[in-house]
Structure 1
Amino acid sequence: MANGISRTRHPWRTRTARMLLALCALAALFATATAPARAATETAAQAAHLADRLRANPVHITDQLPREVPRSTARAFAEVAERTGVPTYVLVLPSLSADPGLLDAVHERLGRDGLYVLVDESTVTDAVAYGVDVPADDASTVALYELPYDAGPLRRFERFAEVVAQGGEKAAARAEAAREKYDDGAEPADAYIDETDRGEQSSLTGVLLVAVPLLILLLVPYVRRWWLRLRQAPATKGAERAEQTERTSLSKTGKQTKQAKKAKKGRQAKAPVVPKAGRALRWTVAVLALASAVAVVVTAPLVHGQTRTSWSPPPRAIELNARLDRVAAGLAEDPVYQDPESPRVLDAAQLDRLHDRIRAFARSEGGGPVFVSLVPQLMEDESGGDEAAFAAAVYDKVGEDGVYVVADPLHGSIDVFNHGLRLDGYSLAFDLPESITAGDARADEADDHLMGSRLAALMTVLDKTERSDEPTTADTPYPVTDAVREDELAPLFGPDFWSALFPGALVAGAVFGVVAGLLGIVGRVLRRRNAGPAV
């Protein structure tokens, strides 16, 4: 049944079909794999594409990192680039998408001297000066060492430009100082907090809001009484000793005269009594308690003023759709879309063979279109690195049923999703050989991940995949994390704050008990020292 509805299948047929699929995939993989792995991925097309982008604008920010580096930050990068004092060309690309010689190739095709800087989702990864004298290496070192790991690429690029503008001598000294300070593994403090830190801040605020006013209300009257009793302690001690002497004398005589009773009552009337606090003091204590509560509420947001876990501004809708629109437009013209910002992992011959296989599958019984997207899958992209969500979004934009293949040219993974064809979607989702989906040791070692031979093997599996009466889809992708709000911290006065109010009362009681105990010990010690001679 379509849309994930299960249908009756014979277990022996399922196992046999899976074995045949695996055998076909392995045979195709070994038959199409060349003996030696390709030495390197093709970077000429990538360099030419990036040079064209820099020719139009000296700052190019990829559309593949909207969660971390939205394209709206291009103006900020351009303003920082002007501070270097030399023509500066900036490429912001995903990590692993640039070979070591990419900047050389881009400079050669652009044909302009200047400072070329490569930035990824976190830092300045490479910088080369062509025809200008700037301390690019020292600036990169300072930007790496002096800032915390979560500072973000824009702030690191700002530090890089700052050091470049200082000149060679100062930059070298600063880089050496940074290495001496942080080479032992020490790092600057984090620039941003996470949700755990926010929870601790909220809990602390809740505890203080209750504990501080309560302690003022409890401790001020208690300390006042303690102090007054301490000052009257010598007179009280003398009265107690006189009474004890009289009790001893009476015990000897065995009787108590009326005169002795009157004397005792007089002494009791003269016993020290701590006066009650006046109205002014009581109001003062109440106002102080209220003021402390207000102070906690007002100052806590100032002390814990961070509202985001990252430097990155929220992406706009156009930024979250930019890559999807680009891929969908490319697939409308060609069923195989190779990301122009990434190294090419299919050469011309492999691409031609893949096109032939796709056309043959489309003509086969129960077959149909196959759309191959050779695009990186990243945690910072619009889909949060979820291949199923990416394929579903591309399918919605292309608007045509077919098999949607997501092949990552950077990490080498291959995922297959059936949308609307009469194929066994469960088999494609769960039974594909690992040699196709993840690759083997040879694929890991090859720069191109043997993507050409693995895609050819996938087409063989598609040819052999069992046809169904109706389209079957293995699963619906999980909702993607909201890219606009994922970096927002929870409110300071949120659930953790409210749940900490009662513990705040317990803390106040515990602190009061400790203070009362300490004052009691101090009072006894002082009374012994100040006691007069026995009567």
Structure 2
Amino acid sequence: MTTVSAYGDTGGIQHIPGAVRTLRTRAFLALFALAALFTTVIGVTPAQAATDPVTLQAAHLADRLRANPVHITDQLPREIPRSTAPAFAEAAERTGVPTYVLVLPTLSGAEPGLLDAVHERLGRDGLYVLLDESMVTDAVAYGVDVPADDASTVALYEVPYDAGPLRRFERFTEVIAQGGKKAAARADAARAKYDDGAEPSDMYIDETGRSEQSSFTGFLLAGVPLLILMLVPYVRRWWHRLSSQPKGGKGKGTKKGKKGKKAKEIQVPKSGPVFRWTVAVLALASAVAIAVIAPLVYDQTRSSWSPRPRAIDLNARLDRVAEGLAKDPVYADPESPRVLDAAQLDRLHDRIGAFARSQGGGPVFVSLVPQLTDDESGGDEEAFAAAVHDKLGQAGVYVVADPLHGSIEVFNHGLRLDSSSLAYDIPDAITVGDASAEQADDHLMGSRLAALITVLDKTERSDEPTTADAPYPVTDPVREDELVPLFGPDFWSALFPGVLVSGLVFGVVAGLLGIVGRVLRRRNPDPRPAA
């Protein structure tokens, strides 16, 4: 067998035709594999990114900031109406750097790295600030030198808890504008003053505080004038008796005359009309003074900083949810973390379609929207579902699934289903969730909604369309922060106790004056002042 060396005399490589073909084939396959891998990475990564909860939420918020550097959620109209956006924008200008402001519900902005993701999507340097219903929750500077951490500390410590997010943001921007050294010193001073648990006094009172103010005002208005009317004449008589004690008397107010008869009791001069009118005018003046001064001292009319929401503020979220459901039976709130991935959404759509085609079935509308006490419905899922149904104007099963808290509520509006069964017989594992759902970031919403459709399939059909009971009226969002008038029910109910207490005070003062008079008469038989 002849062996051919690969090397010739000159040291060069002698190419063998078969080996060349093999090497080329292997190289081609390797390049093909690399290209396929590269294509897969390129193709999969965006898809994965598109379903990542933080990325989807950040993409939406970045779009909002691209249109306007201040984004106020429409989910908190009772606390932070969107009409406050100009005030936040005005405060943001004081920082001296590009400032992007997001105001979101507490749990909606709780995802770690949300501002990083928003900044990456928006692609603009500046100061990014995240606020919730009450305070600055995060602030990060990208490409600008500002004391964001110190400003957040000052805003947290110096501003009362109930002052509201706008005042906290205004204090935040004020500290940013002061620069690094002053901001650091101010933050250190705030920590030293309040780190022991002390807090600034509240700025607003609640209904209990207003009740106390009204009661105290009524108590004074009834008690003080009456006390003047009773006490001033009594003190006058007491003084006349004390100063008219005869010389040499024993303090009993009597003495024996020449015939051994007891002298007459000391006669106190009757008060004249001037005195009586003076006392009456003094009592009336005290009543007027209390009635005039009390509203000036107790001048608060609202229990919160938040301005009254307008109709457009209260309808903004309902309008966008109804508009979304008109296009897709599953509406996921873009401001909140996503709890359904693409595969779960596809399966849910299939199940909804199958139920709609079933006998006695119909449309199912799923709203993956937070339910918050400060939203337009006051956190009442039934009121929210009814309002969305009114906006959408279609019969169907309306499902309200909260992506933040994980609850699921179901309401039938116009389908031939047993509405009472939907209201009371759905397992808690679906409506509330078990321990596993509570611990999961997505609340296992996909599997629970799928189980809900199964329950709908098995729900007893009715002969006629049924509708859930009308929801209880929610608290008026326009007037819910208004305090009752100072001269309200608690004021009037305090008048009678004021009368009783004034009588008690009069009795105590009269008793004390009687004791003082007896002591003085015993020590000084002639207590009248010297001429």
Task: Calculate the TM-score normalised by the size of structure 2.
Answer: 0.87
Does 2:279 match 1:285?
A: yes
| Matching residue of 2:233 | 221
Deviation at 1:235, TM superposition (A): 2.5
Show the 5 A alignment for 1:64-463.
64-98=75-109, 99-235=111-247, 237=249, 243=255, 260-261=258-259, 264=261, 267-268=263-264, 272-463=266-457
Question: Take 1:424 and 1:283, find their aligned partners in 2: how far apart are those partners?
Answer: 77
Unaligned runs of 5+ in 2: 1-50
Helix, strand or coil: the match of 1:373? strand
Alignment deviations for residues 343-363 of structure 1 (CA, whole Å, 9 cap, x no partner): 111111111111111111111
Q: AA paired with 2:116?
A: D
Alignment deviations for residues 249-295 of structure 1 (CA, whole Å, 9 cap, x no partner): xxxxxxxxxxx54x748x54xx6432222322222211111111111
Deviation at 1:241, TM superposition (A): 9.0
Task: Identify which range, 383-392 or 474-483, moves more after superposition.
Answer: 474-483
Whether the aligned pair in 2 keeps the contact of 1:426 and 1:473 (CA below 8 Å) is: no
Question: Take 2:237 and 2:250, find their aligned partners in 1: how far apart are those partners?
Answer: 20
Helix, strand or coil: the match of 1:420? strand
Whether the aligned pair in 2 keeps the contact of 1:426 and 1:472 (CA below 8 Å) is: no
Pair 322,452 (structure 1): closer, same or farther in 2 beyond 3 Å: same
Higher relative contact order (CA 8 A, sep 6+): 1
Question: Take 1:473 and 1:41, find their aligned partners in 2: how far apart are those partners?
Answer: 37
Aligned residue among 499, 503, 512 for 2:506: 512
Pair 352,236 (structure 1): closer, same or farther in 2 beyond 3 Å: farther
Question: Take 2:318 and 2:432, find their aligned partners in 1: how far apart are those partners?
Answer: 24
Whether the aligned pair in 1 keeps the contact of 2:250 and 2:522 (CA below 8 Å) is: no
Whether the aligned pair in 1 keeps the contact of 2:246 and 2:253 (CA below 8 Å) is: no
Helix, strand or coil: the match of 1:103? helix
Does 2:60 match 1:49?
A: yes
Aligned residues: 476
Whether the aligned pair in 1 keeps the contact of 2:322 and 2:392 (CA below 8 Å) is: yes
Deviation at 1:173, TM superposition (A): 1.9
Question: Take 1:299 and 1:81, find their aligned partners in 2: how far apart are those partners?
Answer: 39
Pair 400,239 (structure 1): closer, same or farther in 2 beyond 3 Å: closer
Question: Take 2:234 and 2:408, find their aligned partners in 1: how far apart are those partners?
Answer: 73
Whether the aligned pair in 1 keeps the contact of 2:253 and 2:266 (CA below 8 Å) is: no
Question: Take 1:272 and 1:482, find their aligned partners in 2: how far apart are those partners?
Answer: 68
Whether the aligned pair in 2 keeps the contact of 1:41 and 1:345 (CA below 8 Å) is: no
Question: Take 2:270 and 2:336, find their aligned partners in 1: how far apart are those partners?
Answer: 82
Helix, strand or coil: the match of 1:471? strand
Helix, strand or coil: the match of 1:222? helix
| Matching residue of 1:484 | 478
Helix, strand or coil: the match of 1:235? coil
Pair 464,188 (structure 1): closer, same or farther in 2 beyond 3 Å: same
Question: Take 2:193 and 2:367, find their aligned partners in 1: how far apart are those partners?
Answer: 46
Deviation at 1:234, TM superposition (A): 4.6
Question: Take 2:453 and 2:386, find their aligned partners in 1: how far apart are those partners?
Answer: 20
Question: Take 2:455 and 2:177, find their aligned partners in 1: how far apart are those partners?
Answer: 58
Question: Take 2:251 and 2:350, find their aligned partners in 1: how far apart are those partners?
Answer: 113
Helix, strand or coil: the match of 2:417? coil
Alignment deviations for residues 62-91 of structure 1 (CA, whole Å, 9 cap, x no partner): 110000000111111111111112111110
Question: Take 1:448 and 1:239, find their aligned partners in 2: how far apart are those partners?
Answer: 90
Whether the aligned pair in 2 keeps the contact of 1:142 and 1:160 (CA below 8 Å) is: yes
Q: AA paired with 2:391?
A: K
RMSD: 1.9
Pair 438,241 (structure 1): closer, same or farther in 2 beyond 3 Å: closer
Question: Take 2:378 and 2:52, find their aligned partners in 1: how far apart are those partners?
Answer: 25
Helix, strand or coil: the match of 1:115? strand
| Matching residue of 2:462 | 468
Q: AA paired with 2:460?
A: E
Question: Take 1:242 and 1:175, find their aligned partners in 2: how far apart are those partners?
Answer: 78
Helix, strand or coil: the match of 2:416? coil
Question: Take 1:316 and 1:243, find their aligned partners in 2: how far apart are those partners?
Answer: 84
Q: AA paired with 2:492?
A: W
Question: Take 1:243 and 1:107, find their aligned partners in 2: how far apart are those partners?
Answer: 101
Helix, strand or coil: the match of 2:378? coil
Deviation at 1:472, TM superposition (A): 3.1
Question: Take 1:187 and 1:522, find their aligned partners in 2: how far apart are those partners?
Answer: 48
Whether the aligned pair in 1 keeps the contact of 2:98 and 2:125 (CA below 8 Å) is: yes
Deviation at 1:243, TM superposition (A): 3.8
Helix, strand or coil: the match of 2:100? strand
Question: Take 1:92 and 1:194, find their aligned partners in 2: how far apart are those partners?
Answer: 25
Question: Take 2:92 and 2:194, find their aligned partners in 1: how far apart are those partners?
Answer: 26
Q: AA paired with 1:303?
A: V
Which of the pair has more CA radius of gyration? 2
Question: Take 1:130 and 1:411, find their aligned partners in 2: how far apart are those partners?
Answer: 32
Task: Identify which range, 138-147 or 482-491, moves more after superposition.
Answer: 138-147
Q: AA paired with 2:207?
A: E
Deviation at 1:532, TM superposition (A): 6.5
Does 2:57 match 1:63?
A: no
Question: Take 1:115 and 1:239, find their aligned partners in 2: how far apart are those partners?
Answer: 86
Task: Identify which range, 214-223 or 487-496, moves more after superposition.
Answer: 214-223
Deviation at 1:41, TM superposition (A): 6.1
Unaligned runs of 5+ in 1: 1-39, 247-259
Deviation at 1:371, TM superposition (A): 0.4
Helix, strand or coil: the match of 1:315? coil
| Matching residue of 1:13 | none
Pair 158,243 (structure 1): closer, same or farther in 2 beyond 3 Å: same
Pair 162,239 (structure 1): closer, same or farther in 2 beyond 3 Å: closer
Pair 532,285 (structure 1): closer, same or farther in 2 beyond 3 Å: closer
